[in-house]
Structure 1
Amino acid sequence: MMTMRRTGVYVDGTSIDMNGGHGMRYDVLRALAGRADAAIQRLHAYLTFDERRATRSPEYEARVKGYQAALRDKGFRVTVKPLKHYAEEDGVEMIKSNSELGIAVDALSETATLDTILLATGDGDFVEVVRALQKKGCRVEVLGFDSVSAELRDVADQFINGYLIPNLLPVRDAPPGLPVWGQIGSRVRGVCNRFEQEDGYGFIAFWSSLPNTPLLAATETSPAYFRGSSLQDPTTLSRLPSRSIVLEFELASPTRLNGIPEARGIQIVSGA
């Protein structure tokens, strides 16, 4: 009898917001963690709050506290750390919030009830935390968007590019009534895994729906055909194929005999 996989989610909200993930949908993140019938045991979100700004702006305080309440409604335990203001030697004011210790303590203390940990951050300070979690028998998946530490990517059991997960991050400037991600007419994101420089065409791999397997594999993605002229920045063509360049595009009806949808209006959203 197969044992149900137990999962915990730990979101470094500041790192995610500051590095491409602002607006991330926590309900989709929860669904990703619970894919393949995993049992979600822990849902943690670590956020910051600027107390000084709140005293000056009731609108800010109401917006932030409303956001925190919405995350709690989605089942997340929300831990709030105050932003600290301090001045550098040159007089420039800096702000800082440190959630790393709280995340590390919670994750390490909860490993006995977890098989997989989904850590949403790009902060390289978590490298040793990931190693410690792995030594305790946990599989650690790291999810991030931009500016993810290379060492953190490498030490993780799997790095998940948040841009590629269907609906995790809203599509840029999406007009009302846009078809659901993966349908013809929708805008989706993927990476170019093949490009024929001489012939000027290639293929983009993307997930047409939220993955539902314990291990996320490129073989489970769908292909979209594209012509080089569909890329809004043609200077990027010389760098294709590339797994580090995330492309956002419209899925159009197939124009080729093989029935593969075509990618049009291709924009670079990460890795430029």
Structure 2
Amino acid sequence: MHPWLGLDEDDRAAIFIDGANLYKTARNLGFDIDYKSLLKKTREESRLIRAYYYTSMQEDRDQDYSPLRPLVDWLDYNGYTMVTKIAREYTDAQGKKRYKGSVDIELAVDMVMLADKLDAIVLFTGNGDFRRAIEAVQGKGVKVTLVSTVKTTPPMASDDIRRMADHFIDLADLQGVIGRKGAPPRKTNEEEFFAEEDEF
């Protein structure tokens, strides 16, 4: 049995969550993430320095309510460092409102900048674009655990990024610990926004 998220109890660790990617991965596996349990368990099993959550979101203007606001606010008040970017709104060829936004650069830069203060990084994403950032922090002596899944069709985790990580943990194997208790997730406005964001 692997240590929790590949961490040792003396590891100075940080969590980096690619919000849109993790949401889509968990949804495809049929459960929601219990972020409170994730934070509590990681604090118990390591010297957690910081837990970051990255997401693009709609701008709150006039009465136009962002569907991500409740999640972002809850995480912000419950131990997570939020990194958000306003997604750009546009209209597609069918006249449907869509959003385009990415926080990949912010996540990669923060990983590299914080690496000198860490022994381990836990990265929740399957996006192969983070391969170079993983290589950079490993070059500073930091071990990297990647959390995604290969148990969906197609797999959510890029083969390149899986090979690069020191540990790969399938999100499906964590459901018993960080899966939110209750009914399977339903289609929500939040999911629609993530899906639109994730197309780019």
The amino acid of 1:24's aligned partner reads I
**1:130/1:32 Cα in 2 relative to 1: closer, same or farther (>3 Å)?**
farther
For 1:44, the equivalent position in structure 2 comes to 52
Higher strand share: 1
User: Can you give the 5+ residue segments of structure 1 that lack an aligned partner in the other structure?
Assistant: 175-272
CA distance in structure 2 between the partners assigned to 1:88 and 1:133 by the alignment: 38
Higher helix share: 2
8 A contact 2:55–2:102 mirrored in 1: no
**1:57/1:128 Cα in 2 relative to 1: closer, same or farther (>3 Å)?**
same
Tell me the CA shift for residue 119 of structure 1: 0.5
Tell me the CA shift for residue 65 of structure 1: 2.4
TM-score (norm 2): 0.72
For 2:43, the equivalent position in structure 1 comes to 34
For 1:160, the equivalent position in structure 2 comes to 169
Of residues 123, 128, 138, the one that matches 2:142 is 138
Q: What SS is found at the alignment partner of 1:34? A: helix
CA distance in structure 1 between the partners assigned to 2:137 and 2:143 by the alignment: 8
Q: Greater relative contact order: 1 or 2 (C-alpha under 8 angstroms, separation 6 or more)?
A: 2
2:68 is aligned with 1:64: yes
CA shift digits 1:48-102 (9 cap, x unpaired): 2112xx44865x43x5323222112221111111122346789887532211110
CA distance in structure 2 between the partners assigned to 1:87 and 1:66 by the alignment: 25
Q: What SS is found at the alignment partner of 2:21? A: helix
- Extract structure 1 runs of 4+ deviating beyond 4 A: 54-58, 86-94
CA distance in structure 1 between the partners assigned to 2:177 and 2:74 by the alignment: 18
**1:39/1:3 Cα in 2 relative to 1: closer, same or farther (>3 Å)?**
closer
CA distance in structure 2 between the partners assigned to 1:154 and 1:6 by the alignment: 23
**1:73/1:55 Cα in 2 relative to 1: closer, same or farther (>3 Å)?**
closer
CA shift digits 1:208-232 (9 cap, x unpaired): xxxxxxxxxxxxxxxxxxxxxxxxx
In our comparison, the structure showing a higher alpha carbon Rg is 1
The amino acid of 1:18's aligned partner reads K
Tell me the CA shift for residue 32 of structure 1: 4.2
The amino acid of 2:88's aligned partner reads K
Q: What SS is found at the alignment partner of 2:177? A: coil
| Cα RMSD (Å) | 2.8
CA distance in structure 2 between the partners assigned to 1:141 and 1:11 by the alignment: 12
**1:122/1:172 Cα in 2 relative to 1: closer, same or farther (>3 Å)?**
farther
Of residues 123, 127, 135, the one that matches 1:123 is 127
Using the aligned pairs only, state the percent identity. Answer: 23
Matches within 5 A, 1:171-182: 173=183
2:15 is aligned with 1:13: no
Q: What SS is found at the alignment partner of 1:160? A: strand
For 2:198, the equivalent position in structure 1 comes to none
Q: What SS is found at the alignment partner of 1:136? A: coil
8 A contact 2:123–2:147 mirrored in 1: yes
CA shift digits 1:23-60 (9 cap, x unpaired): 31212222343353x11111111122112xx44865x4
Tell me the CA shift for residue 17 of structure 1: 1.4
8 A contact 1:71–1:78 mirrored in 2: yes
Q: What SS is found at the alignment partner of 1:137? A: coil
CA distance in structure 1 between the partners assigned to 2:23 and 2:90 by the alignment: 21
Q: How many residues align?
A: 168
